[in-house]
Structure 1
Amino acid sequence: MYQPLNRDAELGSYGWQYLFQQVADTDIEFGVVQWVQYGESDFSTPAPWLLDAVTAWQRHMPLWLGMHSEPDYFTEMAKGTAAQAQFFARYLRRMNGPVARWQGWIAQHRAQFLGWYLPLELSDAYFSEPEQRKQLHEFLRKVRRSMGDAPLAISLFMSAQMSPRSFADWVEQLQALDYQVWLQDGAGTQALSASERRAYFDRINCKISFINEAFVQTSTEPFKARAATPEELAATMAQQQPCHQRILFSLRYLPQTAGLLYLTDVTQPAAP
């Protein structure tokens, strides 16, 4: 999974071609663009660099495209049911513009387009109550209807606000809404212990894809992380049944992109 950031515009066309050639030489079979717009930024200035980057990437593997994301998503979800309803209504009003801007690209690269990823990270931290889940599911149905027959995917992370059994049941409810469900494994953030995560992993069905966090968080405020070592990543995957499809988060932490996609904004002075 690639998370577009404005600073990546500096890479240039040759840089993207080289980067994705390196990625293609691994065993990665498909890619995910986390979002095509973040807030007001659609990654088109000073030139449509994200469009160019994604075009270079699709030459090597098929891709999921992420719909737009809102910077206040996590803040609004944490406020509770009423704020969640307002956020969902606003999202539905805004979602069609970014999707429409990519329809021409999709038409040109239909064979390499896997579907749309809805980059709103669900969690039992926000939807632990039945009324909250009911409201969320209605929102997801509206998104599903709006997107026609395009494949859709959604992701979520575990916060231990629901039991492993209840969480697994919820995941199946999301699948029943005609979404592929991707589960963040939590190994990078380490908000839950390895044994706690394993209890959830053991309950979920094999149709769930894992988002394997290829980083280790070193600071919360501000967020900082380092790349996970191959040994750390292998140890995490060993906790999970081999039947699951895997998505690495993110390209920025892979050794193949070192020196190309930076973990920090190198144009800004370091903190004292």
Structure 2
Amino acid sequence: MLLACCSLHAPKIFANTIFYQPLSQDSLITVPQWNALLDKVYEEGYREIVIQWTQYGPTNFVTKGNFLKEVLTIAENKHFRIWLGLYLPDDYYQIMGNNKPDSREYFQRVLLENSRRVSLLEVLSLINKDNFAGWYLPMELTHEYLTSPLNQGRADLNYALQSFILTIDENIAVSYFLSESTPLKAALFDINQLTSMGFKLWLQRGNGLTKDTIVHQVIAK
């Protein structure tokens, strides 16, 4: 439910941020349990929480009476800074993983929807301005996604990402997933482009950071 993440900051890496992925079944967690969990997170040294999304597929976690608002209030009271995730359709990984010609247009549509949601979500109605760290774009990126389909259309995807970030006045973060097949030069190229656009970037790896040579090579660069 809660995942630590590494943030790229030259010249060193530090992990003081933790991810929380809201799920419908989390509504069963009680307020005392949330308090105890976030106390433990704070004791472990984390000071920022990324709410991975405020809507996943048809499920909106910030509608009236939803449990996520209570979680945000508890996190604020414990002095966490909060990254508010936006929207991810529930077929995102399936569509992007297929690497078909229509995946590029799909990617652009999802970006446009996220841009629209920034204007719809009222930050001050969810958390206090002082606790707001920025937005998180839930569209986890990979080298394969950025070159789909079939190594064509990268310029279009880069343009879509640049157009998106120009609509955001606040900080905006995104994750980059390093797969086993990602070449080091390709990863460094992607990372350089994303950070030069203005994204705050987090690295993700399925089997953790300590066992993956590519991750350490990326960090060293």
TM-score normalised by L of structure 2 = 0.78
Structure 1 residues 30, 103: closer, same or farther in 2, change over 3 A? closer
Task: Select the residue among 33, 55, 62 that pairs with 1:37.
Answer: 55
Shift of 1:205: 5.9
For 1:102 and 1:41, the matched residues in 2 are separated by 18
Structure 1 residues 166, 5: closer, same or farther in 2, change over 3 A? same
Shift of 1:49: 1.1
Structure 1 residues 134, 200: closer, same or farther in 2, change over 3 A? farther
Counterpart AA for 1:163 = P
For 2:94 and 2:133, the matched residues in 1 are separated by 30
2:136/2:173 contact within 8 Å kept: yes
Helix, strand or coil: the match of 2:20? coil
Shift of 1:124: 1.9
Q: Which runs of 5 or more residues in structure 1 are unaligned?
A: 207-272
Alignment of 1:45-124 (within 5 A): 47-60=65-78, 61-80=80-99, 82-95=101-114, 96-97=116-117, 100-105=120-125, 109-124=128-143
In the alignment, what sits opposite 1:143? Answer: 164
Shift of 1:98: 6.5
Structure 1 residues 118, 45: closer, same or farther in 2, change over 3 A? closer
Alignment of 1:1-272 (within 5 A): 1-44=19-62, 47-60=65-78, 61-80=80-99, 82-95=101-114, 96-97=116-117, 100-105=120-125, 109-128=128-147, 130-147=151-168, 149-188=169-208, 194=211, 197-204=212-219
1:66/1:119 contact within 8 Å kept: yes
For 1:37 and 1:205, the matched residues in 2 are separated by 35
Tell me: higher relative CO, structure 1 or 2? Use CA pairs within 8 A at least 6 residues apart. 2
Identify, as 1 or 2, the structure richer in strand.
2
Structure 1 residues 53, 11: closer, same or farther in 2, change over 3 A? same
Structure 1 residues 44, 117: closer, same or farther in 2, change over 3 A? closer
Structure 1 residues 178, 81: closer, same or farther in 2, change over 3 A? farther
For 2:62 and 2:188, the matched residues in 1 are separated by 39
In the alignment, what sits opposite 1:262? Answer: none
Helix, strand or coil: the match of 1:121? strand
Q: Which runs of 5 or more residues in structure 2 are unaligned?
A: 1-18
In the alignment, what sits opposite 2:9? Answer: none
TM-score normalised by L of structure 1 = 0.65
Helix, strand or coil: the match of 1:140? helix
1:65/1:116 contact within 8 Å kept: yes
Helix, strand or coil: the match of 1:27? coil
Number of matched pairs: 199
For 2:111 and 2:177, the matched residues in 1 are separated by 22
Shift of 1:22: 2.2
